[in-house]
Amino acid sequence: MIFFPLTVNYQEKSYASGKIPGGYFKREGRPTERETLISRLIDRPIRPLFVKEFKNETQVIATVLTYDHENDPDIVAMIACSAALTISGIPFKGPIGAAKIGLIENEMILNPKVEDIENSQLELVVAGTKNAILMIESEASELSEKNDA
């Protein structure tokens, strides 16, 4: 097994959503579970696109600077990281495309809003290049067979 030292950090700053940490702790804390999961979501499709000979330690950091609580920034962060790597000059066989799909009342919705995701029976994230699908992640309620695509 070949090890590639890639670190992906996704962080939503509290000021991005208009909050300032108060009380005793005035600084940002450690990453939340959501931030850790989104970091992994970004890592999975980009890791296989690095050239095998490239072994330099690489850090990819996606920081959400503003967030409207209407559109989820995870897919945008994934595409932004891919774009940054593509133009960086390091040997990266990107870019990738990514999308989130929701299912509400038997209707597929592309990149649903946050409130739609809460009511969705399916949350499916797909990422890939023009030649291959690199990652599929899904969370769903029980669906009937006729909903299977």
Domain limits for position 47? 6-147
In 10 A of CB 15, how many CB atoms?
14
| E strand intervals along the chain | 6-12, 58-64, 97-104, 107-110, 122-128, 133-140
pLDDT of residue 100: 96
What are 1-37's pLDDT values in tens digits? 478 899 999 998 766 556 666 666 666 678 889 999 9
How high does pLDDT run on average in the chain? 88
CA 94 to chain CA centroid, Å, is: 16
pLDDT of 59 above 70: yes
What are 106-129's pLDDT values in tens digits? 899 999 999 998 889 999 999 999
* Bridge partners of residue 50, in order along the sequence: 92
> Domain of 33: which CATH number?
3.30.230.70
pLDDT of 139 above 50: yes
pLDDT of residue 10: 95
CA 23 to chain CA centroid, Å, is: 31
Q: What residues have CB less than 8 Å from 148, skipping those under 6 apart?
A: none
**Would you say residue 24 lies in a domain?**
yes
How many domains does the structure of the chain reveal? 1
**Would you say residue 137 lies in a domain?**
yes
CA 31 to chain CA centroid, Å, is: 15
- Establish how many alpha carbons lie within 13 A of residue 105's alpha carbon, considering only the half-sphere containing its beta carbon: 1
**Would you say residue 29 lies in a domain?**
yes
**Would you say residue 1 lies in a domain?**
no
How much is the CA Rg of the chain, to the nearest whole Å?
A: 17
pLDDT of residue 109: 93
Mean pLDDT of 29-53: 92
